[in-house]
């Protein structure tokens, strides 16, 4: 019989993070929470008053998905009655949908947890018209990119499933002239994005999309298509070309930033101004839950982060924190 993971094992895998020890405040993505309800319930029952903050990896604006999360939270609450669960919504519509379904929610955008010290504008020569950081999956809608543009495609080899192989082959075929980085070190994202004039975000439904904010932090304006999931809630409007979901409209958005070329430092500062209220609200929430001020949260809340080095140390620290909580 396979042993189910406990919270310490999940922390070691970066599927959960310990944000406060006493009282315990945990953070996890909704998918990891749903997959490991028994582990979360066992921990919460051993530590009455535990709070779990849920990051939303996909949109929950639609009633069906809001209800799905509500059912998960209800199962957890039945198993751990003393625990509190709070979803961190990525837009106001999402918060309202979740609360209508019975889930406590706060509008605290996921991307405010990006550590801006990891990103910076670099370089002056930008040979590519646009960069797109996205794995090759149909929901990312690479086909909206204009083939005539000078494109930099990043992260294409991340998790290509067998069912997506035909789509990946199509992208590679249609955009053979693009510069393709199948994978890249997160520590070098600033260096790579410094090669492009703007960033692309083309999916119609997803979550907050970390890369949409990483573009801004690296000084790139963005071309964005309409989408559910809340990514645009943290957009500095002066540096976004909102376009329709057509190849022609995306080409026009790219052409705008190829011509206008805003100051990368101003782009970055505008995003930081948008993120500040969300960071302040998170600080208030942590004081509410812990009864005291808490320091700066870790990069991406130390969840599922691909960055090596410092984040590995944070994952180990999270693991040790959970282990220490288990000691009576």
Residues 105 and 120 grouped into a single domain: no
Among 262, 289, 305, the domain boundary falls at 262
Domain assignment present for residue 1? The answer is: no
Q: Which residue has the tokens 């904010």?
A: 213
Which of 311, 121, 112, 321 lies closest to 231, judged by CA?
Answer: 112
Residues 99 and 214 grouped into a single domain: no
Q: Mean pLDDT in runs of 10 for the chain (328 residues)?
A: 78 93 95 97 96 97 98 98 98 98 98 96 91 94 96 83 88 92 89 97 96 97 97 97 98 97 97 97 96 88 65 37 37
Residues 146 and 255 grouped into a single domain: yes
Residues 203 and 78 grouped into a single domain: no
Residues 162 and 213 grouped into a single domain: yes
Domain assignment present for residue 16? The answer is: yes
Domain assignment present for residue 297? The answer is: yes
Helices 210-217 + 264-290 axis angle, to 10: 130
Helix (H) or strand (E) holding 40: helix 37-46
Here the CATH number for the domain that contains residue 222 is: 3.40.50.2000
Say whether 240 sits in a helix, a strand or coil: strand
Name the residue range of residue 203's domain: 116-262
Overall number of domains in the chain: 2
Residues 59 and 92 grouped into a single domain: yes
What span, in angstroms and rounded, lies between the C-alpha atoms of 114 and 282?
Answer: 13
Domain assignment present for residue 249? The answer is: yes
Structure confidence at residue 315 (pLDDT): 38
Structure confidence at residue 310 (pLDDT): 37
Structure confidence at residue 118 (pLDDT): 95
Domain assignment present for residue 202? The answer is: yes
Residues 180 and 226 grouped into a single domain: yes
Residues 102 and 121 grouped into a single domain: no
Residues 172 and 207 grouped into a single domain: yes
Structure confidence at residue 164 (pLDDT): 84
Helices 63-79 + 92-100 axis angle, to 10: 60
Structure confidence at residue 3 (pLDDT): 66
Alpha helices in 178-309 (DSSP H): 189-193, 210-217, 247-260, 264-290
Among 215, 236, 262, the domain boundary falls at 262
pTM for this model (two decimals): 0.90
Say whether 299 sits in a helix, a strand or coil: helix
| Contacts for 140 with CB less than 8 Å, ≥ 6 apart | 132, 134, 202, 203
Which residues are registered as beta bridge partners of 26?
18, 52
Say whether 26 sits in a helix, a strand or coil: strand
Domain assignment present for residue 267? The answer is: no
What span, in angstroms and rounded, lies between the C-alpha atoms of 73 and 110?
Answer: 19
Domain assignment present for residue 120? The answer is: yes
Domain assignment present for residue 271? The answer is: no
Q: What is the largest CA-CA distance in the chain?
A: 64
Among 217, 238, 262, the domain boundary falls at 262
- Residue 153: what are its φ and ψ, rounded to 5°? -105, 125
Residues 76 and 207 grouped into a single domain: no
């Amino acid at each position: 019989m396979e042993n189910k993971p406990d919270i310490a094992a999940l922390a070691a895998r970066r599927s959960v993070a310990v944000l406060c020890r006493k009282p315990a405040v945990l953070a996890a993505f909704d998918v990891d929470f749903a997959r490991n309800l028994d582990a979360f319930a066992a921990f919460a029952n051993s530590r009455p008053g535990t709070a779990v903050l849920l990051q939303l990896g996909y949109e929950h604006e639609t009633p069906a998905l809001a209800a799905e999360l509500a059912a998960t939270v209800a199962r957890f609450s039945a198993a751990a009655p003393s625990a509190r669960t709070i979803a961190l919504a990525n837009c106001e519509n999402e918060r309202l949908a979740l609360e209508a379904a019975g889930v406590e929610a706060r509008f605290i955008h996921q991307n405010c947890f990006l550590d801006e010290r990891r990103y910076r504008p670099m370089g002056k020569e930008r040979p590519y018209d646009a960069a797109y950081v996205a794995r090759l999956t149909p929901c990312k809608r690479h086909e909206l990119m204009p083939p005539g543009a000078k494109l930099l495609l990043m992260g294409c080899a991340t998790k290509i499933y067998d069912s997506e192989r035909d789509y990946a082959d199509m992208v590679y075929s249609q955009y053979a002239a693009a510069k393709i980085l199948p994978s890249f070190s997160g520590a070098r994202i600033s260096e790579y994005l410094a090669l492009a004039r703007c960033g692309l975000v083309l999916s119609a439904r997803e979550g907050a999309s970390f890369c949409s904010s990483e573009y801004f932090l690296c000084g790139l304006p963005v071309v964005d298509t309409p989408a559910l999931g809340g990514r645009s809630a943290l957009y500095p409007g002066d540096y976004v070309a909102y376009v329709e979901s057509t190849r022609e409209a995306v080409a026009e958005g790219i052409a705008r930033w190829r011509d206008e070329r805003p100051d990368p430092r101003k782009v970055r500062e505008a995003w930081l101004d948008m993120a500040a209220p969300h960071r302040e609200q998170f600080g208030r929430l942590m004081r509410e839950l812990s009864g005291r001020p808490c320091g700066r949260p870790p990069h991406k809340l130390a969840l599922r982060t691909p960055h090596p080095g410092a984040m590995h140390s944070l994952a180990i620290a999270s693991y040790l924190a959970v282990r220490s909580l288990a000691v009576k």
